[in-house]
């Protein structure tokens, strides 16, 4: 699908203590090359903070206050991904879209069942690890995928693209604060919207990414995910997985 305007991407890189994984650094270099070859403009912005919600809010408010940017691209610095993944997010031209990826933690006590017989260890892990996306499903619990895209209730913000009009649509659903002192010089208008502030859903505390996706859907916009990209998520161990293959092995997705 042709894009309506030439993209100008603000790439937001949150870290805990300025450190990034080497596999992420290499993936970022490949992404820079791919964006350049595609003729797209981009800039990066970085914040080191132990408060991920505040950092994501800062990135979103900086983007909002700089009208030259068309898209905000979050890339978490503990993941390895293909250079095609960000390009596919941009080309998809969705209001809000992310790449589904596996959580870093895994329940090593999970049982191997009869349905898992014949799977390789890699396939078993890919099938059984939890992913950062939840499909919109029908009454039978099945989701539907076309060209790797699926509409979702939420998707993690580790590889996550927000179009300007989508962020503007969410503004009325957020609380406005004065900018924190550490970011005030970078936000001259002093406005600091709580785009990623956490909310509850039926009494359940939601993480900042789920909270943002809920606001997007409350604004009347869909949330989309690419679920056929393989992503390696680094933590105490490296968890590699593709959500689409996991769903196919579980029998929960149709064409």
Domain boundaries, the chain: 8-254
DSSP class per residue in 47-60 = EE-S-HHHHHHHHH
Among 100, 159, 157, 158, which Cα is nearest to 129's? 100
Per-residue pLDDT tens for 166-201?
Answer: 999 999 999 999 999 999 999 989 999 999 999 988
Apex 151 CA angle, 15 and 123, nearest 5: 70
Three-state DSSP state, 55? helix
CA 226: distance to chain centroid? 10
Name residues whose C-beta falls within 8 Å of residue 33's C-beta, 6 or more positions apart in sequence: 83
Which tokens is 65 given? 């206050």
Apex 49 CA angle, 48 and 51, nearest 5: 155
- For position 214, what pLDDT does the model report? 96
Per-residue pLDDT tens for 116-152?
Answer: 888 888 888 888 888 999 999 888 888 889 999 999 9
- For position 1, what pLDDT does the model report? 38
| % of the chain with per-residue pLDDT over 90 | 70
Report if pTM > 0.95: no
Report the CATH number of the 8-254 domain. 3.90.550.40
C-alpha 146/C-alpha 111 separation (Å) is: 32
Which tokens is 130 given? 């939890």
158 or 235, which is more confident: 158
Per-residue pLDDT tens for 50-84?
Answer: 899 999 999 999 999 999 999 999 999 999 999 99
Per-residue pLDDT tens for 239-250?
Answer: 888 999 898 888
- For position 37, what pLDDT does the model report? 97
- What integer best gives the mean pLDDT of the chain? 92
Residue 67 buriedness (CB in 10 A; 0-12 / 13-18 / 19+): exposed
pLDDT grade, residue 109 (50/70/90)? confident
């Amino acid at each position: 699908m042709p894009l309506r305007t030439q993209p100008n991407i603000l790439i937001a890189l949150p870290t805990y203590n300025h450190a990034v994984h080497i596999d992420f650094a290499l993936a970022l270099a490949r992404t820079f090359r791919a964006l350049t070859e595609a003729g797209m403009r981009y800039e990066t912005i970085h914040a080191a903070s132990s408060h991920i919600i505040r950092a994501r809010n800062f990135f979103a408010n900086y983007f909002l206050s700089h009208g030259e940017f068309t898209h905000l691209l979050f890339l978490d610095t503990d993941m390895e991904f293909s250079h095609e993944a960000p390009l596919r997010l941009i080309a998809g031209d969705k209001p809000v879209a992310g790449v589904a990826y596996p959580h870093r933690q895994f329940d090593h006590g999970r049982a191997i069942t009869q349905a898992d017989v014949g799977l390789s260890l890699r396939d078993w892990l890919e099938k059984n690890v939890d992913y950062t996306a939840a499909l919109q499903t029908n009454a039978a619990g099945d989701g539907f995928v076309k060209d790797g895209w699926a509409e979702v209730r939420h998707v993690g913000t580790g590889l996550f693209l927000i179009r300007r009009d989508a962020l503007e649509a969410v503004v009325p659903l957020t609380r406005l604060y004065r900018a924190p002192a550490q970011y005030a010089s970078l936000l001259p208008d002093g406005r600091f919207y709580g785009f990623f502030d956490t909310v509850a859903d039926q009494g359940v505390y939601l993480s900042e990414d789920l909270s943002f996706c809920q606001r997007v859907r409350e604004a009347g916009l869909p949330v989309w995910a690419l679920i056929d990209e393989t992503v390696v998520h680094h933590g105490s161990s490296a968890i590699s997985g593709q959500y689409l293959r996991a769903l196919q092995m579980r029998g929960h997705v149709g064409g």
